[in-house]
Chains A and B, each alone.
Chain A
Amino acid sequence: DGGITQSPKYLFRKEGQNVTLSCEQNLNHDAMYWYRQDPGQGLRLIYYSQIVNDFQKGDIAEGYSVSREKKESFPLTVTSAQKNPTAFYLCASSNQDANTGELFFGEGSRLTVL
């Protein structure tokens, strides 16, 4: 089955630690995205990548980093510089050739900072 796999589903971190969230897709999509979701705030874009080895900052990129070495993979690192990292993180992908902007989402990773 084609889809997006995020791992881990739940993650706990101590303050001052970096953590990396995994996102893998087998939909052959060119574009991949990371969103952060907080209660009552909707989804906010952290980073996105439209092609391998290239990525762009979204609205709330501070304290986060990404890489896009393979088409299938777009890991997100939450660094110790992120002041309030506890949130639900969603990875998505889209087929730019379809020209509709529709996103396909993973099931999310919930990060809690202790």
Chain B
Amino acid sequence: AQSVTQLGSHVSVSEGALVLLRCNYSSSVPPYLFWYVQYPNQGLQLLLKYTSAATLVKGINGFEAEFKKSETSFHLTKPSAHMSDAAEYFCAVSDSSGYSTLTFGKGTMLLVSP
């Protein structure tokens, strides 16, 4: 069984500040890990994914995440927040067979103030 925990349903930052969204996972096999972003009334868009290559993964819009097996974490960061980053972010896990379904966290809403 696999699961995902996202700490904080809402995170507020000022424009230009560091963004840190936390994700911890549980998986009995080597995981694949994903971060998705959702803008209001839209579907989800892939930000980045970890599939057992480099542990530091770079994604779109300046986001990156680091896979830390010892901490079972996959936190999402961005050095400098922009107003356009305001959205809901979802962490997800699947097992490395690629044939399992994704399990999503409950999401973290990122609020960016000027």
Query: Is chain B a partner of chain A in the same complex?
Result: yes
Which residue numbers of A lie inside 8 Å of B, CB to CB? 4, 6, 33, 35, 40-43, 45, 48, 50, 58, 88, 90, 92, 96, 98-108, 110
Q: Is the CB of B104 within 8 A of A42?
A: yes
Chain B interfacial residues counted at CB < 8 A: 25
Q: Is the CB of A103 within 8 A of B44?
A: yes
Specify which chain B residues have a CB less than 8 angstroms from the CB of A40 in the assembled complex.
9, 106-107
- Taking chain B's interface residues, is the majority helix, strand, or loop, or is none over half, making it mixed? loop
Q: List the one stretch of B12-20, B60-68, B77-85, B93-101 in contact with chain A.
A: B93-101
Q: Is the CB of A58 within 8 A of B9?
A: no
Specify which chain A residues have a CB less than 8 angstroms from the CB of B46 in the assembled complex.
102-104
Q: Is the CB of B42 within 8 A of A101?
A: no
Is B55 an interface residue when CB atoms closer than 8 A count as contact? no
Question: With A42-B104, A50-B99 as given contacts, are A100 and B32 in contact (CB-CB < 8 Å)?
Answer: yes
Q: Is the CB of B101 within 8 A of A102?
A: no
Q: In the assembled complex, how far is the CB of residue A26 from the closest CB belonging to chain B, in whole angstroms?
A: 16
Closest residue of chain A to B106 (Cβ to Cβ) is A42
Q: In the assembled complex, how far is the CB of residue A10 from the closest CB belonging to chain B, in whole angstroms?
A: 9
In the bound complex, how far is the Cα of B99 from the Cα of A105, in angstroms? 17
List 12 interface pairs A-B (beta carbons < 8 Å), by A numbering: A40-B106, A96-B98, A98-B98, A99-B98, A100-B98, A101-B32, A101-B100, A102-B49, A107-B43, A108-B41, A108-B42, A108-B43
Is B26 an interface residue when CB atoms closer than 8 A count as contact? no
Q: Is the CB of A99 within 8 A of B49?
A: no
Q: In the assembled complex, how far is the CB of residue B82 from the closest CB belonging to chain A, in whole angstroms?
A: 23
Q: In the assembled complex, how far is the CB of residue A89 from the closest CB belonging to chain B, in whole angstroms?
A: 10
Q: Is the CB of B34 within 8 A of A102?
A: yes
In the bound complex, how far is the Cα of B38 from the Cα of A108, in angstroms? 11
Q: In the assembled complex, how far is the CB of residue B94 from the closest CB belonging to chain A, in whole angstroms?
A: 4
Q: Is the CB of B34 within 8 A of A43?
A: no
Closest residue of chain B to A107 (Cβ to Cβ) is B43
Q: Is the CB of B42 within 8 A of A43?
A: no
- For the complex of A and B, the 5 pairs showing the least CB-CB separation, nearest first, are A105-B43, A99-B98, A101-B94, A42-B106, A43-B104
In the bound complex, how far is the Cα of B62 from the Cα of A3, in angstroms? 24
